[in-house]
Amino acid sequence: MPHDFMPGLAGVPAATSSISDVDGQRGILEYRGIRVETLCAESSYLETAYLLLFGRLPSATEFQQWNRDVTHHRRIKFRIVDLLKCLPEQGHPMDALQAAVAALGMFYPGRNVKDVENNYWSAVRLVAKLPTIVAAWARLRRGDDPISPRDDLGFSENFFYMLTESVAPPLWADIFDDCLILHAEHTMNASTFTGLVTASTLADPYTVVASSIGALKGPLHGGANEEVVIMLREIGMVEKARSYVSRAMENKKKLMGFGHRVYKVKDPRATVLQQLCRRLFAESGSSPLYEVALEVEAAAGESLNSKGIYPNVDFYSGIIYDKMGMDIDLFTPLFAMSRVSGWLAHWLEQLRENKLFRPDQIYSGEHNRPYVPIDQR
Ligand code: ACO
């Protein structure tokens, strides 16, 4: 049966899912039917991860158990640390994360993906260990020893501790936790789809997540948050923002952190991130990058809003991480250590009725060409 080719599979459903929903016209994002704004106000990243993975908010006892399981599995094996030590320190942290996650699968074989119990522990390990790997790499590459996780600290507090060896101000941990909630899931995007293609072969969850990490790295997806801060630094001051945007428009250059395949209004995550920026700066002083970003948004809006192009999740997140002293190239790994819960939720959902992905193609080549021997070409 002939089909129309849809470049980028735009608008083509790849799954039926009850995990999250985007209303791109009204700028609404829900996880399991709950608005992300509500989750940021009321929930924590770890509780949101449970909601995504298991379909409902946990009871107090269930949350206690989930929290305990994740907390007890934060440590990584010394051989994973050894593996990280062998990687070139100039390499991108997303590559280090992908390599370490793939290697994790060798320590915790999860090949029988029909085993529900095993799948639970794989999910626990992946949610628990990604932050430890990200923090370990960030330290190792500058010659510092990794710091072991502390069981008395919450998920986000512990991440800061493993990164800096000090406990972050409560507001920072709180804001960071909200950032993790906002990045945890987003329907059928490139990295989720990549993971599902891998999962459809019944590969183990570590391989699934390693595949998704690879897709998230690119600058058209998660990698845009790095590019935004590079752009804002390059602009440098509010006065230069308008001329930068005009030049970009004249040269048909895409502004990083703007535009989305689904949202035709401002990404609701960008709106919450802006509120988080304001909370952070009220306590810790403003960031010149934020002032530049506001001016870029205003200037870009004049030419792009009529095309349905507005700031996306990547536009304001990097400004927060930068203010918290995180290296630019850690921004996408931070995205990954949050999004892992969304990837795994899709993996578990798909396993219930798995079908191998095997799309079609429209062949545009020739037929019946003769084979010409090499000495006659
Ligand atoms: N800046 C300027 N113009 C843009 C931008 C942008 N950021 N995004 C889209 N446009 C324009 C295109 O030039 C094109 O214009 P034209 O119709 O006049 O040729 C039109 O809008 C459609 O653009 P496409 O790239 O075809 O739209 P698509 O739906 O494929 O784009 C995408 C989505 C890839 C995210 C795009 O907006 C983009 O490249 N943005 C910049 C990178 C970015 O921020 N990525 C992060 C996305 S969020 C995430 O993945 C977590």
What topology does CATH give the domain 41-168+185-219+330-352? Citrate Synthase; domain 1 (1.10.580)
As a whole number, mean pLDDT of residues 121-149 equals 97
As a whole number, mean pLDDT of residues 112-129 equals 95
pLDDT for the residue 222: 87
The Cα 104–Cα 126 span in angstroms is 9
| Residue range 294-316, pLDDT digits in tens | 999 999 999 899 999 999 999 99
Handedness of CA 70, 74, 75, 81 (dihedral sign): positive
Q: For the chain, what percent of residues have pLDDT higher than 70?
A: 99
As a whole number, mean pLDDT of residues 222-230 equals 91
The Cα 46–Cα 266 span in angstroms is 26
Helix (H) or strand (E) run with residue 22 in it: strand 20-23
Region of poorest pLDDT, from 137-146, 151-160, 218-227: 218-227
pLDDT for the residue 24: 95
Handedness of CA 121, 49, 151, 66 (dihedral sign): negative
pLDDT at position 135 over 60? yes
Handedness of CA 153, 36, 186, 95 (dihedral sign): negative
Task: Count the Cβ atoms, other than its own, within 10 Å of residue 193.
Answer: 18
Predicted confidence band of residue 231 (pLDDT cuts 50, 70, 90): very high
Q: How far is CA 328 from CA 43, 142, 153, 210, in A?
A: 27, 14, 25, 21
Answer whether 29 contacts ligand 1 (Cβ < 6 A): no
Which token pair is 48? 């949101």
What topology does CATH give the domain 224-323? Cytochrome p450-Terp; domain 2 (1.10.230)
pLDDT at position 89 over 70? yes
Region of poorest pLDDT, from 68-72, 149-153, 194-198, 251-255: 251-255
pLDDT at position 210 over 70? yes
Mark out the alpha helices in the chain (DSSP H runs). Answer: 36-42, 45-54, 60-72, 78-86, 93-107, 116-140, 155-164, 170-183, 190-199, 205-216, 224-235, 241-250, 268-284, 288-304, 313-323, 331-351
The Cα 27–Cα 321 span in angstroms is 24
pLDDT for the residue 128: 98
| Residue range 108-117, pLDDT digits in tens | 977 789 999 9
Answer whether 314 contacts ligand 1 (Cβ < 6 A): yes
Residues 6+ apart with CB under 8 A from 280: 171, 172, 175, 320, 323, 324
Predicted confidence band of residue 319 (pLDDT cuts 50, 70, 90): very high
As a whole number, mean pLDDT of residues 166-186 equals 96
As a whole number, mean pLDDT of residues 30-43 equals 98
Helix (H, G, I), strand (E, B), or coil: what is residue 311?
strand
Answer whether 309 contacts ligand 1 (Cβ < 6 A): yes
CA of 256 to the centre of ligand 1 (A): 8
Region of poorest pLDDT, from 107-116, 130-139, 191-200, 301-310: 107-116
Strand order in the sheet with 28-31: 20-23, 28-31, 34-35
pLDDT for the residue 340: 98
pLDDT at position 2 over 70? no
Rounded to 10 degrees, the C-alpha dihedral 175/180/186/192 comes to 160
| Residue range 257-296, pLDDT digits in tens | 999 989 999 999 999 999 999 999 999 998 899 999 999 9
Q: How many CA atoms lie within 13 A of 88 on its CB side?
A: 3
Of residues 96, 123, 301, the one with CA closest to residue 208: 123
pTM of the full structure: 0.94
Residue type, 95: D
pLDDT for the residue 109: 79
Handedness of CA 235, 223, 133, 350 (dihedral sign): positive
Answer whether 259 contacts ligand 1 (Cβ < 6 A): yes
pLDDT for the residue 1: 52
The Cα 304–Cα 298 span in angstroms is 10
pLDDT at position 236 over 90? yes
pLDDT for the residue 219: 87
Q: Which atom of ligand 1 is nearest to the CA of 252?
A: 13
Out of 309, 313, 314, 335, give the residue to mutate to test ligand 1, the one with the largest number of ligand atoms within 8 Å of its CB: 309
Residues 6+ apart with CB under 8 A from 172: 160, 280, 284, 324
Nearest CA to ligand 1 atom 9: 259
Domain boundaries, the chain: 41-168+185-219+330-352, 224-323
Task: Count the Cβ atoms, other than its own, within 10 Å of residue 27.
Answer: 17
Where do we find the tokens 């949350």? 63
Task: Provide the mean pLDDT of the chain.
Answer: 95
CA of 220 to the centre of ligand 1 (A): 8
DSSP 370: P
Out of 245, 307, 334, give the residue to mutate to test ligand 1, the one with the largest number of ligand atoms within 8 Å of its CB: 307
Of residues 213, 319, 211, the one with CA closest to residue 257: 319
